[in-house]
Chains A and B, each alone.
Chain A
């Protein structure tokens, strides 16, 4: 590096640049949070959805699955499982999820095993409500197709 470019100049670029871009980041964050209600349907977050999110967290679902692409890559994407497995109706999805959760573990030799989490019917219903609400989020049209 050129001798005329001193350590002091490098330090000023570091401090100035970091502060400048951090302030822009904060401004964009402020704007994003303001815009978010247009996309997250927060008026539809019922108590069942809230309980469902806690169940999702309490059973560490993210340890195998992804939710909008974030999580582990061992098991299917679940942000759109409502659309994929619901057959177009809430009743259809709830029936599917209830049957699915109760059938675990499938015990098919060699197949990846999902544990049985021993959820009650009410809890499975809450989880379904959470997944339904999640499927309706406007996430800029991800994933590219129904398979997630």
Chain B
């Protein structure tokens, strides 16, 4: 049964499937690292912690990018009411990006990082060895090429079609993503400049343009599953992303407190980043409001659950857990502690992992020719996946927060001479790390349940 409005939307499918494969890898390496936190020599010679972490974080970034691309290929043609400009280009770029991603990850795993730097000629234009930007320079160039082709394809699609607010916001977010990535190529010798502009990629992605992408995807799914008038939903979308950028751009200042920067960033960063929870709070109100005012009962209950879930979890993870340590006088003690890790986990899961699973939940039954929704049984298994992963992530965050509070108490607050050393402190945090690892295993079970739901194809009775 063909249920796609525009046939070229089908190119989204390999992007979503590949995203899920990388997601599994991300979680497995997360579990390895979690174990190394308590059994320091686990796989030590084979997979050192720094390698596992690089694989864990890079897989996250790349699978989210695959998810965003899949989302764009799916929703932009439908919004523009026209076929995609070039489905062939989209498929070619899929294989290029997938091959580059796999080769890079294999490079991390199979040779020492310094060897990878040598064989990819890092010394010609050194960009490697910075957190999240560990990819060889040649991979970074590949990412830019893929992004340009992707934006060209979507841009041409929008130009010949209808220009809805959702499409314009999605496109602005994706262009911003590509533009700010260019700062990854700027790696000055002076660490002070290096660190300052590194945030132009990292912060302006996750607390800037990615929020536009998230907002556009959520608005699209809410229109589809609730049937609420587009005018209302798009108005909310503009309000939310206005708040996101007005707070988030100067909110970058919360990363500048302890760099080689003037003190005023402590004021600017504290005030504006304290406002960063507002767009996420608005998103919660809006998602529940739209679902309550729904004009249709969409058979895909799982997609609605994901849409509400991503609003709530991004508010908790990005909003509340971000606020916990964003004020400069708090951050002075919590900067670079397990509090940061706690926030990072829930924010990425709540905002970005969940928004990708929201659009996947809505789009996959259509992409697979099943219809408006999966059968009831598959939806139940999918919702088990939702709850297991989400509850596990809440506990991961709580345990890391516990570890972080104790770490700050033992290592940061006492005076020099009385404070415990980093390694001695880590020993005291062991129980939290064990509990976090158990929660991580539950998360994996949730992910397995989620993926299993794709393989349940009982015919729908309705």
- Footprint of B on A, CB under 8 Å? 1, 5-7, 10-11, 13-14, 17-18, 21-22, 24-25, 28-29, 31-33, 35-36, 39-40, 42, 45, 49-50, 53-54, 56-64, 66-77, 105, 107-113, 115, 117, 134, 137-140, 142-148
A66 and B128 CA atoms in complex are apart in Å by 16
Indicate if the CB atoms of A68 and B337 lie closer than 8 Å.
Answer: no
**B residues in contact with A71, CB < 8 Å:** 131, 336
Task: Give the residues from 168 to 197 in chain B that come closer than 8 angstroms, CB to CB, to chain A.
Answer: 187, 189-193, 195-196
**B398, CB-defined interface residue at 8 Å:** no
- 17 extra interchain contacts, Cβ-Cβ under 8 A, other than A59-B113, A75-B422, A134-B191? A1-B235, A1-B236, A7-B231, A10-B242, A13-B238, A36-B192, A39-B261, A54-B126, A57-B117, A64-B50, A74-B53, A76-B422, A77-B422, A110-B41, A117-B114, A144-B412, A147-B420
Q: Are A58 and B128 in contact (CB under 8 A)?
A: yes
Q: Return A83 CB to nearest CB of chain B, in Å.
A: 9
Q: Quick check: is B423 within 8 A (CB to CB) of the other chain?
A: yes
- Report the Cα distance A144→B416, complex, angstroms: 8
B242 CB → nearest A CB, Å: 4
Q: Which residue of A lies closest to B272 (CB)?
A: A21
Q: Which residues of A contact B417 (CB under 8 A)?
A: 146
B149 contacts the other chain (Cβ, under 8 Å)?
A: no
Q: Known A53-B189, A110-B41, A140-B257; judge A35-B262 contact (CB<8 A).
A: yes
B235 engages A6 (CB within 8 Å): yes
B residues apposed to A, CB below 8 Å = 33, 36-37, 39-41, 44-45, 48-51, 53-54, 113-114, 117, 122-123, 126, 128-131, 134, 165, 187, 189-193, 195-196, 231-232, 234-236, 238-239, 241-242, 245-246, 249-250, 252-253, 256-266, 268, 332-333, 335-338, 340-341, 411-417, 419-423, 425-426
- Bound complex: CA A42 to CA B188 (Å): 12
CB pair B260–A74 under 8 Å, yes or no, is: no
Q: Can you list the 4 inter-chain pairs with the closest CB atoms, starting with the nearest?
A: A63-B50, A57-B129, A69-B336, A112-B40
For the complex formed, measure the closest distance between the CB of A42 and the CB atoms of chain B, giving whole angstroms: 6
Partner of B36 from the list A50, A56, A112 (CB cut-off 8 Å) is A112
Q: Give the A-B contact count at a CB cut-off of 8 A.
A: 227
In the complex, the answer to whether A140 meets B338 with C-beta atoms within 8 Å is no
Listed by A's residue number, 28 A-B pairs whose Cβ atoms lie within 8 Å are A10-B236, A10-B239, A11-B165, A21-B246, A21-B249, A25-B250, A28-B253, A29-B196, A32-B256, A39-B192, A40-B190, A49-B189, A57-B126, A57-B130, A60-B128, A60-B129, A62-B50, A64-B53, A69-B258, A69-B336, A70-B131, A74-B36, A77-B336, A110-B40, A115-B48, A142-B258, A142-B335, A148-B422
Most central of B192, B332, B413, B419 by chain A CB within 10 Å: B192
Complex Cα distance A69/B325, Å? 13
Q: Which residues of B contact A73 (CB under 8 A)?
A: 336-338, 340-341
Tell whether A40 pairs with B260 under 8 Å between CB atoms, given A25-B249, A58-B113, A69-B335.
Answer: yes
Q: How far is the CA of A60 from the CA of B413 in the complex (A)?
A: 29
Contact assessment for B50 and A60 in the assembled complex, using a CB-CB cutoff below 8 Å: yes
Using known A-B contacts A25-B250, A68-B195, determine if residue A45 contacts B48 with beta carbons closer than 8 Å.
no
Question: Closest CB-CB distance, A117 to chain B, in whole Å?
Answer: 7
**A66 touching B37 by the CB < 8 A rule?**
no
* Inter-chain contacts of B413 with A (CB < 8 A): 144
B49 touches A64 (CB 8 A): yes
For A144, give the chain B residue with the smallest CB separation: B412
CA distance A108 to B40 in the complex (A): 9
Partner of B190, one of A45, A66, A108, A112: A45
